[in-house]
Amino acid sequence: MINKRRLIKTFIDLVKLDSLSLREQKAAEYLRKYLKRYHLRLRELGRPPGGEIGNLACHLPGRGPRLLLNAHIDTVSPGKGIRPTKRGRYIRSDGTTILGADNKAGVAAILEIIAILIEKNIPHPPLDILFTVAEEIGLIGAKAISQDELKADYGLVLDGGDINKIINQAPTQDNLFVTIVGKAAHAGIHPEEGINAIKVASAAIAKMKLGRIDQETTANIGLIRGGKATNIIPEEVELKGEARSHNLIKLKKQVAQMKNLLQASSRQAGAKCRIQVERMYNSFRIEPEHQLVARVAKAMRQENIKPQITKTGGGSDANIFNELGIPSIILGVGADHVHTKKEQILMSDLVAGTKIVLATIRGFYRG
Ligand SMILES: [Zn+2]
C-alpha cells in the first residue's frame, strides 16, 4: 500500500534541504508544499527563542482516540549541503556530513502516511500531525508548546532507529553548570599567591563517578574551559556536565555526589564554586501492557517483525509530550549510526517502519 518510490524520493528530497536546529525554514517550505497538494495547511505551534520558524501542525479528522504523530525536522552538525547517495540497499551521505535520517526518515514516513490515507481514503482515527523544530539542542521546540495546544490521547514519536523497537521508557536529565573561581597570580614569580582553578576542578572530577553508574543511571562532564596562559595561574574554570536516570532518587544522589565533590575541592583550596543545576526533561514510562504498546507490537508482527520493548538513555520530544499528559512512545524508521558521518538508512527499513506506523494508526480507528 505504501508508495515506496515516493517515500524514498521524499526522504532524499528532505535530506538535501539544510535544516540545522533553529534554521529549519527550507524544510518547512517543503512540508507546506507537499501538504498543500492534500489541502492541508500547517500552522505554527510555539516557536523556540532564536528559531527561524516554529513547530508546524495540522489535523486530519477521523474516528477513534486522537493520535499525535510527531517527528522533528532539525538535524545535528555537520549537516549542511548533505549529498545523499544510494549504495546497494542503503542511503548514505558522501562521508563529509551526517545523513540526517535522524530525523528526516521520520518526517518522510509521516508525509507518506498522510498521502496514502488521503489518496486511498483509508479510515483512520483523528490525527494531530506535529513537526517539531530544535529537538537536537535540548527539545526546545517541543518545550515551546503550551499544554492547552496539545489535545491528543496518545502519541507516536518517530525518532528511533531500529524498526523492531518500541521505546516505552526514557530517563530524566539534569545539567550542571559550574564555575570555579580561584586566584590569578604569576606562575613563575608569585605562585604561592595563586589558587589554581583548573587544579581544583581536576581534583573533583578525578574522584567523580562518571560514565555508566548503573543500569538506570549515567553521568558525564562534557566540557571544561579555563585558563589564559602558561605563566598565569588560572583564576577561573567553567564546567558543563549532566546526569541522567530512570530513577529520580538515583539521579538526585548522582547530582549531589558531583556537587559535593566540586564544593569540597573548592573549599579545601580556598576557591569559590558556583553550581547551577537545570532539569532538562523528565522521565517517562509507558506500561508494556498499555494499548499503545500492544497495537504497535501487533502491527510489527503483521510485518513479520518481532517487537522488542525497550528503554532509551536519551531524551526526545516524547519526554515533553508525556510531561504534557500525552502517553507517548518512540518508534524507529530505520536510521543507524545517527549523529555521525557514517549515518545511513536501509531503504527496506524505512519502508517497513512506515508500514508499521500506518498499520498502528489504522488499528486505532473506531468506525
Ligand atoms: Zn532525533
Who contacts 10 (Cβ-Cβ below 8 Å, separation ≥6)? 34, 108, 111, 112
Do 358 and 219 sit in the same domain of this protein?
Answer: no
- The CATH number covering residue 132 comes to 3.40.630.10
Residue 135 shares a structural domain with residue 91: yes
Q: How far is the CA of 167 from the centre of ligand 1 (A)?
A: 13
Pair (160, 179) in one structural domain: no
* 135 labelled catalytic: yes
CATH of the domain at 225: 3.30.70.360
304 shares a domain with 165: yes
Among 257, 281, 305, residue at a domain's last position: 281
Q: Is the same domain home to 357 and 234?
A: no
Q: Give residue 266's domain range.
A: 172-281
238, 266, 281: which is the final residue of a domain? 281
How many whole angstroms from 274 Cα to the centroid of ligand 1? 32
CA of 265 to the centre of ligand 1 (A): 38
pLDDT in tens, 36-53: 999 999 999 999 999 999
CA 136 to ligand 1 centroid distance, Å: 7
Q: Are residues 243 and 291 in the same domain?
A: no
Residues 51 and 165 in one domain: yes
Query: Are residue 182 and residue 105 in the same domain, yes or no?
Result: no
Distance 161 CA to ligand 1 centre (A): 9
Question: Do 249 and 317 belong to one domain?
Answer: no
Q: What pLDDT, in 10s, does the model give residues 154-200?
A: 999 999 799 999 999 999 999 999 999 999 999 999 999 999 999 99
pLDDT higher than threshold 90 for residue 212: yes
What pLDDT, in 10s, does the model give residues 49-77? Answer: 999 999 999 999 999 999 999 999 999 99
**Is there a single domain that holds both residue 354 and residue 244?**
no
| Residue 39 labeled ligand binder | no
Choice among 74, 136, 236, 242 that is catalytic? 74
Residue 304 has pLDDT above 90, yes or no: yes
Domain boundary among 243, 265, 281: 281
Do 70 and 181 have their domain in common? no
Q: State whether 38 and 134 are in the same domain.
A: yes
Query: 112, 128, 135, 343: which one is catalytic?
Result: 135
Number of domains in the chain: 2
Is 235 an active-site residue? no
Q: Band of the pLDDT at 367, cuts 50, 70, 90?
A: confident
